[in-house]
Amino acid sequence: MLKKLFRRPPESPTNPMVKPPPPVEFDVADLYRGPAELGIEVAEDEEPLDEKLRQAYFWIVNNAVISPHYDIEYHDGPAQSFVFGDTKSRLTLPSAQSYSSFVLLPLLNFAVRRRCLLVGGPGRGKTASSILMGVLAGYTLQEVRRAVQHGQPQMTISDLLGNPLPADLVQAQNIEDIRISWRRWLGMRVKIIDEYNRIPTRTQSALLTVLADNYAEILDHIYECPPAAWYLTANDDQGGGTYQVIEALRDRIDVVVRALHFNTRFFSELLTRVEEGIRPEEVVPGELIFTEAQSERMYREIAHLPVPFEVLRRFEFFASQFEFFEAAGLQLEYKTKDNLKLSGLDPAQLAALDSGRDRLKDLGVQTQNGLSVRAMMSVLIFSKALAYMRGVDTVGLEDLRQILPFVLHDKLSPALDAPFFEAPGNGVLRVDRISWIRTLFDLSCQEYDRLSLDKDDPLRKLSQDFAKGLEGLTEPEVKARLVEIERLLATWSKSRKLFGHLYDDVLYLKYLHQRYTNYRAWLQWKKKA
């Protein structure tokens, strides 16, 4: 085990199933390859960054953060599993390369420059992981440590953002003349806020502006921050800090990572660190550092990774389950949980008004809220990042499935009194939110398959036709499409109860109907003119 510590960057390829190496040929350039590694000084702009990201991941898990967990499981064939105890705890041995969420997700957050919250008890490596990300961005350890903002009850806006220069405060005739000494961390590509739930509420608001809108403001002076990966840490994400975290700030967090426990079988590694005084963040191999240009390129490559229609459709279907609340409005558009929340009424009071839908089967009953647009975008970009990190060309359903629980962890609130949680074996899902969200997605996919929506999606043709544009459509064609929409709505209204996914489909049909109606009116006006 000792020999495994502090290895060099893992040798490429780190995921050999993905891209086999090219065949070896004679090349005079091979003269200069050998026992001394050349490093990344050559062709920085051509280096495969997905491989570099994997190398960074494996270096961290093997050397820096002792996290021997593989909770993000991938399989490329049958996997063996074993059941333990009366509660039937299941251990599955993944048959493909799998990952530790505590290391993987901060790294993905680094790649897509979003906002990551690390939650867990003291001494679990939350801040150390964040600091490693700063070092990966090319900052020195000293720079990263100085840039960490430590939340504390006396933290002021000036502590966080900077100060007006005292001399200017005395001499300036107008506010534009007052120069601001901005805090250096604002200009960094990795921003770390340690124990953010200890920051006073007023300072949290200033932090929100930087976090959400990427600028800081003091005395009408604006500091535009560069795109950055944010890491916020908290010992307790349920409001156990000194101050309640303002909801807008919590809502801006894209992904939540839980620090996993320390496996006591790895004590010897701790002992080595104590004896040798090794601090992994001080010995990050230079080959793993991402330059600013590489970070930009990596983000572009991730953003352009395609999501196949079939995968996107299942995500649409999943996301459509949660917002609908039949008793929350009279008009269809207002039958939402958001509407109910704005009313301030207790959902339990209105639950009795719900129609005769199967409350065990309806996934929407399990949540108190729907998904925000921001959450959906976060799911998409993190799924792309995971697929990119794995070295595959498109986002797979499993990438989406693995990412969902971490992005929706704080976004989807469970309705703990839902019948689903009363069912045998489901009680534990009230506590284990990661497994609950993953189960929700699995149930959604089962329903999607039951409805055979991959083969028989009644909206697909209408949607594809509409996507071609209205220009050039004749009035009879428009009329035919309107008839088709009305026929579909008539069929559904007779035979089906209103579930979340159907609710979105119905409103989508109304949207199409309105667009075609307006277009037909324009065609008729044009004919007369």
Partner 1 sequence: MEEKGLSPAFEAVLKDRRERYNAAFAAARHRRTALKGPAFLEHLRLRVDPIVAALPVEGRAPVCDALYDLSLELVGCDLFGRYPVTGEGWQRLLPRVAGLLPAAPRRLIASLTNALANLCEQPGARASWWLERMLEVPVSDAETLLAVGQVLAWRAGLPHYREGALAICARLGPAATGVEGDLEALRADPWLTVEERAPGARPRIIFRVGGFRGYGGPFAAPPEVRYAGHNRFYVGDGESWWLLVADGYGTSLHRLPEEPAGVPNEGPGPGALGEPVRCWASGSRTLALARPLSHYVLLAAV
Give me the residues that bind partner 1 (CB under 8 A), please: 2-3, 5-8, 26-39, 41-42, 272, 276-279, 282-283, 286
Quick one: how far is CA 478 from the chain centroid? Answer: 40
* Helices 397-407 and 433-450: angle between axes, nearest 10 degrees: 140
In the complex, least distance from residue 365 CB atom to partner 1, rounded to whole angstroms: 54
Sole residue written with tokens 């770390």: 192
Cis peptide before 13 (omega within 30 of 0): yes
In the complex, least distance from residue 27 CB atom to partner 1, rounded to whole angstroms: 7
Nearer to partner 1, 283 or 416 (CB): 283
Nearer to partner 1, 39 or 122 (CB): 39
SS3 414: strand
Nearer to partner 1, 38 or 480 (CB): 38
In the complex, least distance from residue 3 CB atom to partner 1, rounded to whole angstroms: 6
Cβ neighbours of 470 (radius 10 Å): 15
Q: Which residues contact 174 (CB under 8 A, 6 or more apart)?
A: none
Nearer to partner 1, 61 or 311 (CB): 61
Q: Tokens at residue 15, please?
A: 């995921």
In the complex, least distance from residue 294 CB atom to partner 1, rounded to whole angstroms: 17
Task: Round to whole Å and give the CA distance between 377 and 387.
Answer: 15
Task: Round to whole Å and give the CA distance between 497 and 357.
Answer: 7
Nearer to partner 1, 28 or 529 (CB): 28
User: Strands 190-194, 180-182: parallel, antiparallel or unpaired by DSSP?
Assistant: unpaired
In the complex, least distance from residue 40 CB atom to partner 1, rounded to whole angstroms: 8
Task: Round to whole Å and give the CA distance between 258 and 125.
Answer: 11
Nearer to partner 1, 39 or 472 (CB): 39
**Beta strand residue intervals within 133-189, DSSP E:** 149-150, 162-164, 180-182
Nearer to partner 1, 140 or 242 (CB): 140
Q: Which residues contact 318 (CB under 8 A, 6 or more apart)?
A: 404, 440, 441, 444, 445
Nearer to partner 1, 6 or 262 (CB): 6
Q: Which residues contact 19 (CB under 8 A, 6 or more apart)?
A: 13, 51, 391
In the complex, least distance from residue 293 CB atom to partner 1, rounded to whole angstroms: 17
Nearer to partner 1, 4 or 304 (CB): 4
In the complex, least distance from residue 128 CB atom to partner 1, rounded to whole angstroms: 15
Q: H/E element holding 458?
A: helix 458-467
Task: Round to whole Å and give the CA distance between 484 and 513.
Answer: 10
Counting runs of H as helices and runs of E as strands, what totals does the chain give? Answer: 20, 11
In the complex, least distance from residue 37 CB atom to partner 1, rounded to whole angstroms: 6
In whole angstroms, how far apart are CA 281 and each of 64, 100, 121, 139?
7, 19, 21, 11
Nearer to partner 1, 30 or 432 (CB): 30
Residue 436, Cβ density class (10 Å: 0-12 exposed, 13-18 middle, ≥19 buried): buried
SS3 121: coil
Q: Tokens at residue 111, please?
A: 């790649």
In the complex, least distance from residue 106 CB atom to partner 1, rounded to whole angstroms: 22
In the complex, least distance from residue 65 CB atom to partner 1, rounded to whole angstroms: 15
Q: Tokens at residue 189, please?
A: 């590509």
Nearer to partner 1, 32 or 84 (CB): 32
In the complex, least distance from residue 272 CB atom to partner 1, rounded to whole angstroms: 7
Sole residue written with tokens 């069912």: 423
Single-letter amino acid code for the residue at 285: P
In the complex, least distance from residue 52 CB atom to partner 1, rounded to whole angstroms: 16
**Residue 163 β-bridge partners:** 181
Sole residue written with tokens 């469970």: 414
Nearer to partner 1, 138 or 329 (CB): 138
